[in-house]
Amino acid sequence: MTYEANKIRLIMELRRQGITDKRVLGAVERVPRELFVPEALRSEAYDNMPLPICQGQTISQPFIVAYMTQALRLGPRDRVLEIGTGSGYQAAVLSKLCRRVCTIERYRSLLIQAEACFTALKLHNITTRLGDGNRGWPELAPFARIIVTAAAPQMPVTLADQLDEGGIMVVPVGPPGDQTLIRLTRDSDGFHEEALLAVRFVPLVAGMPLDRK
Ligand code: SAH
C-alpha cells in the first residue's frame, strides 16, 4: 500500500487549518508517520487524528504536531528539548528543522521503539534520555526551545529555567478537560505567556514508572 495520496490530503488539510509555515509542512511531508504508529493502525497513519501507542499513551494528532512546531519558531541552529518522546514522531519532525533534538521519555519500552525509528530513518541529530522530564536536562541546558508533549498541571518552572534568553517554550498546561497550549518566551525582562489553543494531552506524570519498563 502507498501512503502518498493520504499524505497529500493531510498536508492540504493542515494548510486549511492554518499551518502556513512551508518548512513545517515540508518536515511533516518528509517524516513517514506510518513508522511511528502501531502496525495494525498503519492504514490510519495520515488521518488527522491522535492514535494509541504502547503504555496507554498517544501519538499526537498531526495538526497538533504541526501547530506546536510552527509555534516554536525554530531556527536551523537551535537546540530543542522535548519532554515526552512517546512514539518519537514529534522529535522526528523537529529534527528536520533544527540542529539537535534532546528528548526525554519515562517509559523505557517507548524510548527503545522510538530510537529504532530514529536509526532506521538516519535521524542522527536526536539524543534520547530515559528519565523524569519534569527535571529537564540540566547538564545540557540552556535550550533555545523547549516543547512539552504532555500536559503539566501548572507552568513547569524547572523547565522554564532551562530556557536560554530569547528562548521559547510551548507547553500544554492544566487539568484533564481544561488544558491550554501556552507559549512562554524569555527575554531580558523575564517571562511572557501567551495562550494559544485549547488542547487535550495525556498528563505529564511525576516520577518514573514503578516497573521501569
Ligand atoms: N511526542 C509524542 C507524544 C507522546 S504522548 C509523540 O510524538 O508521539 C506524551 C508522552 O509523555 C508519553 O509517552 C508519556 O509517557 C510521556 N511522559 C509523561 N510524563 C512524563 C515525564 N514526567 N517525563 C518524561 N516523559 C513523560
- 128: domain CATH number is 3.40.50.150
Residues with active-site annotation: 60
| Domain housing 123 | 3-199
Assigned domain for 206 exists: no
* pLDDT of the residue at 2: 80
Separation between Cα atoms, residue 63 and residue 103, nearest integer Å: 20
pTM over 0.95: yes
Residue 13: burial class (beta carbons within 10 Å; 0-12, 13-18, 19+): middle
Is residue 213 one of the residues assigned to a domain?
A: no
The predicted structure's pLDDT at residue 207: 86
In a domain, 21, yes or no: yes
Nearest CA to ligand 1 atom 26: 84
Count of structural domains within the chain: 1
Q: What is the pLDDT of residue 210?
A: 80
Q: Is residue 212 part of a domain?
A: no
Query: Which ligand 1 atom lies nearest to the CA of residue 107?
Result: 15
pLDDT at 139: 98
Q: Which residues of the chain are under the pLDDT cut of 50?
A: none
Ligand 1 pocket, residue 107 CB under 6 Å: yes
Question: Does residue 205 line the site of ligand 1, with CB under 6 A?
Answer: yes
Measure the CA–CA gap between 77 and 27, rounded to whole angstroms.
16
Pocket test for ligand 1, best of 69, 83, 179, 200 (most atoms within 8 A of CB): 83
Nearest CA to ligand 1 atom 14: 84
